[in-house]
Amino acid sequence: MQDRTYAADAEPGSRATVAGWVHEIRDLGGIAFLILRDTTGRIQVKFEKDEMDDELVETGLDVSRESVVAVTGDVEEESRAPTGVEVVPDSIEVIAPADTDLPLDPSGKVDAELSTRLDNRTLDLRKPDVKAIFEVRAEILRAAREELRAVGCTEINTPKIVATGTEGGTELFPITYFGEEAFMNQSPQLFKQLMVGSGLERVFEIGPIFRAEEHNTPRHLNEATSIDFEGAFCDHSDAMDVCEEVVKGVYEAVEENCTAQLEAIGVADDFSVPDGEFPRLTYEEAIERINATGALDQQLVWGDDLPTEGEHALGEEIGGHYFITDWPSEIKPFYIKDYDDDETVSTGFDLMHPRMELVSGGQREHRHDHLIEGFKQQGLDPDEFEYYTKMFKYGMPPHAGWGLGGERLVMTVLGLDNIREAVIFPRDRQRLSP
């Protein structure tokens, strides 16, 4: 429809064809309004029953809500209309009539369960607040790519079908690949590391990852979007610098380009770009401060995982993003490098939002012999990972990187309650469709 005018662009004094969904029909007797909604907003179409063609009026007022229509007419100024203009139609075409029995009310007047919304995302994303979430999500991904390019990264795409999992874990979805056993990749970790040893040096990837975790929580998905960075000649501190730049750059882009969306979602007042440097606490400081909050029944000791309630108590105290560094080696993956002067402490780090962990990263083990040892200690057969480990024999520079959960980023930027609200068609323990 080349000659279509968007609702937001209809100028008084012009003729226009507007097309979209029937949002509402308000019949006031002699006069009636059809509110048409398209991707830019809503526009009022006025029917004056006594002065207009009967068939036109009938078509316009009998059409069911959420039907798709095209209306042609004169655009006139009307201060009482939602956008200050209205269309006085001389023709209306019902392009796709909608059943009157809608599974979900896109006007947003009736609340729906999340599962009903997810079953009917087409209707759900007709609501301006839900649509806005995905416009912000798109802006977040755009901004993240721009920030990563700005620090010298080349975008890469790595395979999602793999012969072996990153950590050889059991949390992999098995697939049948021409009769061979294969898996859906849980992380681009090994591939992005192989690329920092290439001439690209710094790479990023934004793509799907797959985890067969049994978790069913408001912050876990079985298919998620991972924002991955890896850089040659970087240590964990450099990687944290890049991470901080990307996260802040994302917030700045949302502030600059998504004002209307933040309003629509209803979070404009709560939104702010993080200011100041993200504090960097060592794991040791973190457990001390968590212990001091008294939030836990038991005092944490070196080597403990940080329980969620502990992280929340610390996050509340700090009131913004913060890094936890210098983790005990034993609770970080084997491919994370330990400090040279203390092998019990790892260069691994997490970026925390007060609500949850966003990022996991660290400097990587780039020494071939240490890496092979790491596989063995993990109970993995290094031979199965030879395609990866052998490249460490041919000049693998020191490198560091991280993975940032895309949906968690959207969720925390927008203050969403459930991670499923940050993905159009989520995959979880129960949900495989749509």
Near a copy of itself by CB under 8 A: residue from 96, 113, 276, 383: 96
Q: In terms of CB distance, is 67 or 293 closer to a copy of itself?
A: 67
The answer to whether 166 and 187 are in contact (CB under 8 A) is: yes
Site membership for a copy of itself, residue 158 (CB under 8 A): yes
The catalytically annotated residue of 285, 357, 373, 384 is 357
Residues numbered 279-308 forming contacts with a copy of itself, rule: CB under 8 A: none
In sequence order, what are the residues at sequence separation of 6 or more whose Cβ sits closer than 8 angstroms to the Cβ of residue 73? 15, 16, 45, 87, 88, 89, 90, 91
CA–CA dist 294, 391 (Å, integer)? 48
Contact range with a copy of itself by CB under 8 A, out of 79-87, 168-176, 268-276, 351-359: 168-176
- Residue positions forming the annotated binding site for L-aspartate: 167, 211, 360, 364
Residues numbered 249-278 forming contacts with a copy of itself, rule: CB under 8 A: none
Residue with tokens 């960097």: 280
The catalytically annotated residue of 230, 408, 420, 421 is 408
Q: Is position 15 annotated as part of the catalytic site?
A: no
CA–CA dist 307, 301 (Å, integer)? 12
Q: Is position 220 annotated as part of the catalytic site?
A: yes
Q: Residue 31: which H helix or E strand, with range?
A: strand 31-38
The answer to whether 315 and 242 are in contact (CB under 8 A) is: no
Contact range with a copy of itself by CB under 8 A, out of 62-70, 82-90, 353-361, 375-383: 62-70
The catalytically annotated residue of 117, 219, 353, 366 is 219
Site size toward a copy of itself (CB under 8 A) is 103
The catalytically annotated residue of 58, 135, 213, 263 is 213
The answer to whether 336 and 362 are in contact (CB under 8 A) is: yes
Site membership for a copy of itself, residue 128 (CB under 8 A): yes
CA–CA dist 140, 308 (Å, integer)? 26
Question: Residue 340, SS3?
Answer: coil
Q: In terms of CB distance, is 162 or 313 closer to a copy of itself?
A: 162
The catalytically annotated residue of 220, 321, 355, 366 is 220
CA–CA dist 265, 278 (Å, integer)? 26
Round to the nearest angstrom and report the end-to-end CA distance of the chain: 29
Near a copy of itself by CB under 8 A: residue from 151, 173, 245, 252: 173
Taking the complex as a whole, how short is the minimal distance between the CB of residue 345 and a copy of itself, in angstroms? 21
Site membership for a copy of itself, residue 110 (CB under 8 A): no
Question: Residue 36, SS3?
Answer: strand
Site membership for a copy of itself, residue 367 (CB under 8 A): yes
Neighbours of 244 (CB within 10 A): 18
Q: In terms of CB distance, is 243 or 306 closer to a copy of itself?
A: 243
- Helical H segments across 151-279, by residue range: 189-196, 236-257, 259-265
Near a copy of itself by CB under 8 A: residue from 334, 375, 388, 402: 388
Site membership for a copy of itself, residue 229 (CB under 8 A): no
Site membership for a copy of itself, residue 198 (CB under 8 A): yes
The catalytic residue positions are 211, 213, 219-220, 357, 360, 408
